[in-house]
Amino acid sequence: MYPLLDTINSPSQLRELESKKLPQFAKELRDFLIESVAKTGGHLSSNLGTVELTIALHYVFNTPYDQLVWDVGHQTYAHKILTGRREGMSKLRMQGGIAGFPRRDESEYDAFGTAHSSTSISAALGMAVAARLNKTDRRAIAIIGDGAMSAGMAFEALNNAGVMDANLLVILNDNDMSISPPVGALNNYLAKLMSGRFYATARRAGEKVLGVVPSMLELAKRAEEHVKGMVTPGTLFEEFGFNYIGPIDGHDLDVLITTLKNIKLLEGPQFLHVVTRKGAGYKLAEEDPILYHGVGKFDPKKGIIAKSNGNPTYTQVFGDWLCDMAAQDSRLIGVTPAMREGSGLVRFSQEYPERYFDVGIAEQHAVTFAAGAACDGLKPVVAIYSTFLQRAYDQLIHDVAIQNLAVVFAIDRAGLVGADGPTHAGSFDLSYLRCIPNMTVMAPADENECRQMLYTAFKLDTPSAVRYPRGSGMGMPVQKKMQALPIGRGEMRRQGEKIALLAFGSMVAPCLEAAEELNATVVNMRFVKPLDDELVAALANSHELLITVEENTIIGGAGSAVTESLNSQHINAKVVQLGLPDIFIDQGDHAQMLADCGLDKNGIIKAARLVLGE
């Protein structure tokens, strides 16, 4: 079916292929990608955009000796296929299968584990410095997207790399053409010229000759910068100490391979600007790369057909609440670190464009920006994934909490996230939030409670967080009317005997199921901070066993808050804490992952009976 692709199982075999056969190889690889992802789901647009670049990198560089560091890593499917994992694509992002991102323990070709953006330059720089200190000719290559370049960490690394004297190659994969003008023959020619030995040699010779006349050398350098600046956007990167090359067509294998071969001969930090197109080679993805960014299973011929189970997702509940709240209060602003679609801000950005702020992939800046706005009377709502809020933890403490500013954190993807695996799981937010003074932390049991908690948080004049899971909830109807909940008060959901299940957020549903068989009391705790100490004491005094249940790491989580409360009240009670274990949990089906952690109906029943000896 794939005459060339079926014969290539490693980069070394790829390098033996005649260059004239590479375009056909690229077509087969792209076709296989579409066919494969259609069966498993995953990231599609970004991977289609990097097919030729991936081929060229493995064709020119001696991987895995030469190290490729892919930023974010959701564009590495072609890389995985070329490095012996083609058959593994049938279980992509499934339990026991290959990950959707690079992982060092999965392949020697995955030089660095990535999934969060803007880390590649720092990691590759560390590798380049290690190669220099180890006196090897090993090359380190960072491949970073134009979106990831908006993060401060990327620029911190660029700033550092320019003075490190290391053989680092940074490839900017510009797939939105947000930096460069359209590419063409002239730019491709200039890229070949600038990356060639003649240009580099002439440049060094000129510096040596003109060096005896400092003013002439400075004049020549400035002239060179201005001439290059007129035809390329590289002045900024040159100022960081890089030799800028590009922009070039990222789908032209001849240009890519020639340019990379030339760069391979150069010393010092190099910056190659490549322009690609998301979804390249698949018309539907080219026309709507956002829709085809992350996909479920679909028919490649028909494309994605929207399906709904009728229940709104928590993300949709948040998006609707944000617009409704904005209509009531002109002080509300929405802030997101480049996650408009994922965090549910599309409608808000359209209806309130002057109050919508996408700050780019810059979580630290997002939080401090919100803090600054709160200082002058605005009411910022920061929509952010749990895993990405971790990146702004210092700002959360230093800029928001210490100053006790009224910033609302709408924390999406709390708990396990299924196929995206440990890099995207929101396993730690209850632990890292509840230890911060001035914070109010809430976890809704269902969709309607999520809306009411967001309203409750917005009405506070102090920092607050509402954390909710990925996907849909229990199917509870969402009431249009908004009403603030009493702060720090739980809710009795079921009265039973002997056993009290203290459920937090998403765990209310399985606790109610388990309680029917156990005849247990179920309490929707609602607030992780402040905790309902009075209710905890009452439950401890009326039940033989308390079981806390949360979709968060057990260490330092909501269950720990309950035991701390009992201790402070000098109450001796038997407590079992159920939650996520002290390991990073691999990708898989969300329901199965919860079952494996003992966080489903059967797991809760088993834990209770084990303790009671039943």
Which residues carry out catalysis? 278, 363, 391
Alpha carbon distance 382, 343 (integer Å) = 10
Q: Which ranges of 393-446 would DSSP assign to H, the alpha helix?
A: 393-395, 429-434
DSSP assignment string, 553-606:
ESTTSHHHHHHHHHHHTT----EEEEEE-SSPPPP--HHHHHHHTT-SHHHHHH
Secondary structure of 267-287 as H, E, C letters: CCCEEEEEECCCCCCCHHHHH
CA dist., res. 123 & res. 188, Å (int): 29
Q: How far apart are CA 201 and CA 222, in angstroms?
A: 18
Question: Residue 558 in contact with residue 537, Cβ under 8 Å?
Answer: no
Whose structure tokens read 């909501």?
A: 558
- Helix, coil or strand: residue 607: helix
Element (H, E) at 172: strand 168-174
Tracing tokens 């749990």 back to the chain, one arrives at 386
H or E segment and range at residue 102: none
For residue 524, what are its two tokens? 């929707």
Tokens of 606: 């088993």
The helix (run of H) or strand (run of E) holding residue 244 is strand 243-249
Phi, psi of 235 (to 5 degrees): -55, -40
Q: What is the DSSP string of 28-66?
A: HHHHHHHHHHHHH-EE-HHHHTTHHHHHHHHHHS-TTTS
H/E stretch holding 91: none
Q: Phi, psi at residue 352, to the nearest 5°?
A: -135, 60
What does the block give as tokens for 83?
Answer: 């490095």
Pairing type for strands 491-494 and 521-524 reads antiparallel
CA distance 504 to 528: 8
Give the span between the Cα atoms of 120 and 31, in whole angstroms.
28
Residue count (the chain): 614
What's the CA gap between 173 and 49, in Å, rounded?
9
Angstrom distance (rounded) from CA 612 to CA 607: 9
**Of 474, 294, 467, 484, whose CA–CA distance to 383 is shortest?**
467
Number of Cα atoms under 13 Å in the Cβ half of residue 118: 22
The alpha carbon of 351 is separated from its chain's Cα centroid by a whole number of angstroms, namely 26
Cα distance between residue 591 and residue 509, in whole Å: 13
The C-alpha atoms of residue 270 and residue 267 are separated, in whole angstroms, by 8
Q: Copy the structure tokens of residue 321.
A: 């609440």
Planar angle of CA 451, 602, 598, nearest 5 degrees: 75
